[in-house]
């Protein structure tokens, strides 16, 4: 019985979050220029992860997305289990829908993510593969997906979260099956499939200076030294109201990565608020968005600022009752203080001393 009530509750929740919402997006005339216009003046791409179901079902989501941003990341639909659901089958339809929308609206596209320890289909994880078979599977996967989007995806998160908390290599499915050589192989295959795409390593809790970011820095140094075709690093930037790395440490980390010749993208910014949401917490959240945008503008190598969603209505946390409100528009598409903090940093009067 409990299971049944839970299933009904989840069902209702899904219907509610997927249904078109009858709210008015903030009238753009009330706002300053859209974020993308101000970002362009700072030579910066600004964007968001895009959810397939929200894009399909909510016209206001589409409207605000197209108005505000000039780059998107495909949130889930390029992950292994979605795009390669059985061994001989690739399913590009949903990812293509997002890519088409982005192209129609002159947005650049970040591909996410080719190699990760999560979102792996059971045909893969439950198979009994030899090392050579796994190499072939991963090579075919990367080459097929990257070729499909050749010339369309300008930057790929090739390798996601391959380093563990202490800074050592994470014991992932791929590491265990292939060995550490997989780290270089995956970038080479992606480069062969699209020599013009920028190739990124992407990770979390490595924004400031700590054991994990030291480990990642060492790994990046090795990849560069051995001429692995890697162009940049994605700092996910999933932050909280408290307990974040200091702005000084984030800047120092970006600078040392940039000194290796790497481009830096902020790839998944969120600032989680534990309920209850109060005005004070929203103001604090805004300060954190402001700090990260200021840092990105101050570091030449930081060229792209992407958030993991833009409205709390379609957040990846909207089914979590304790944590949420992480984004810059509220559930009615009204800009939050965090939105105005970004405007404040990007608008011409304040951004000119920092612009690149």
Binding positions for ligand GLA, rule: CB under 6 A: 160, 204, 236, 268, 316
Short-list 270, 340, 344, CA closest to 310:
270
SS3 24: coil
∠ CA 120-124-128, nearest 5°, is: 140
- Cis bond upstream, residue 253 (ω within 30): no
Residue 182 vs 272, nearer CB to ligand GLA:
272
Q: How far is the CB of 49 from ligand GLA (least distance, A)?
A: 8
* Cα separation, 43 vs 296, whole angstroms: 11
**Maximum Cα–Cα distance for the chain, whole Å?**
62
- Cβ closest to ligand GLA, residue 104 vs residue 322: 322
CB half-sphere exposure, 350, CA atoms < 13 A: 14
Is 40 annotated in the active site?
no
Rounded to an integer, what distance in angstroms lies between the CA atom of residue 59 and that of residue 30?
20
Q: Where are the alpha helices (DSSP H) in the chain?
A: 2-18, 35-41, 52-57, 59-68, 80-83, 93-104, 122-125, 131-148, 173-178, 182-193, 211-225, 247-258, 279-298, 337-346, 348-351
Smallest gap from residue 128 Cβ to ligand GLA (A): 28
Tell me the closest approach of the beta carbon of residue 201 to ligand GLA, in angstroms: 12
ω into 330 cis (within 30 of 0)? no
Nearer to ligand GLA, 201 or 333 (CB): 201
Separation between Cα atoms, residue 159 and residue 182, nearest integer Å: 10
Considering the complex, state which of residue 64 and residue 306 has its C-beta at the smaller distance from ligand GLA: 306
Q: Shortest distance, CB of residue 59 to ligand GLA, whole angstroms? A: 25
Enter the tokens of residue 203: 């990770």
Which helix H or strand E contains 277, and what residues bound it? none
Inter-residue contact 329 to 336 (CB < 8 Å): yes
Element (H, E) at 301: none
Selecting among 68, 75, 207, 268, the annotated active-site residue is: 268
- Selecting among 161, 207, 263, 294, the annotated active-site residue is 161
- Name which of 294, 304, 293 is nearest 262 in CA terms: 304
263 part of the active site: no
Nearer to ligand GLA, 99 or 135 (CB): 99
Is the distance from CB of 302 to CB of 295 less than 8 angstroms?
yes
Looking at the Cβ atoms of 203 and 263, the one nearer to ligand GLA is 203
**Shortest Å distance, C-beta 237 to ligand GLA:** 10
| 312/344 with CB nearer ligand GLA | 312
Provide the annotated active-site residues.
Answer: 161, 268
């Amino acid at each position: 019985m409990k299971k049944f009530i839970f299933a009904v509750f989840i069902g209702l929740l899904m219907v509610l979050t997927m249904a078109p919402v009858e709210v008015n997006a903030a009238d753009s005339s009330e706002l300053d220029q859209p974020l993308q216009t101000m970002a362009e003046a700072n030579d910066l791409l600004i964007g968001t992860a895009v959810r397939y179901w929200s894009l399909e079902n909510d016209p206001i989501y589409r409207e605000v997305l197209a108005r505000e941003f000039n780059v998107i990341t495909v949130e889930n639909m390029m992950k292994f289990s979605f795009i390669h659901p059985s061994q001989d089958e690739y399913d590009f339809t949903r990812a293509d829908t997002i890519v088409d929308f982005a192209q129609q609206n002159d947005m650049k596209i970040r591909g996410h993510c080719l190699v990760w320890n999560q979102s792996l289909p059971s045909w893969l994880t439950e198979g009994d593969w030899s090392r050579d078979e796994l190499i072939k599977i991963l090579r075919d996967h990367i080459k097929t997906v990257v070729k499909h989007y050749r010339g369309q995806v300008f930057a790929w998160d090739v390798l996601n979260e391959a380093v563990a908390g202490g800074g050592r290599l994470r014991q992932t499915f791929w590491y265990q099956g292939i060995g550490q050589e997989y780290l270089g192989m995956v970038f080479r295959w992606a480069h062969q499939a699209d020599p013009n795409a920028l190739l990124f390593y992407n990770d979390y809790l490595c924004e400031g200076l700590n054991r994990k970011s030291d480990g990642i820095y060492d790994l990046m140094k090795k990849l560069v030294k051995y001429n692995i075709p890697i162009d940049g690093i994605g700092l996910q930037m999933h932050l909280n109201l408290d307990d974040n790395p200091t702005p000084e440490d984030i800047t120092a980390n970006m600078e040392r990565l940039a000194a290796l010749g790497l481009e830096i993208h902020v790839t998944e910014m969120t600032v989680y608020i534990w309920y209850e949401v109060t005005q004070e917490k929203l103001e604090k959240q805004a300060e954190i968005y402001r700090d990260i945008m200021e840092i990105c503008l101050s570091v030449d190598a930081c060229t792209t600022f992407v958030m993991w969603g833009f409205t709390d209505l379609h957040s990846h946390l909207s089914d979590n009752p304790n944590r949420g409100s992480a984004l810059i528009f509220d559930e009615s598409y009204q800009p939050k203080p965090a939105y105005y903090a970004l405007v404040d940093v990007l608008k011409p009067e304040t951004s000119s001393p920092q612009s690149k």
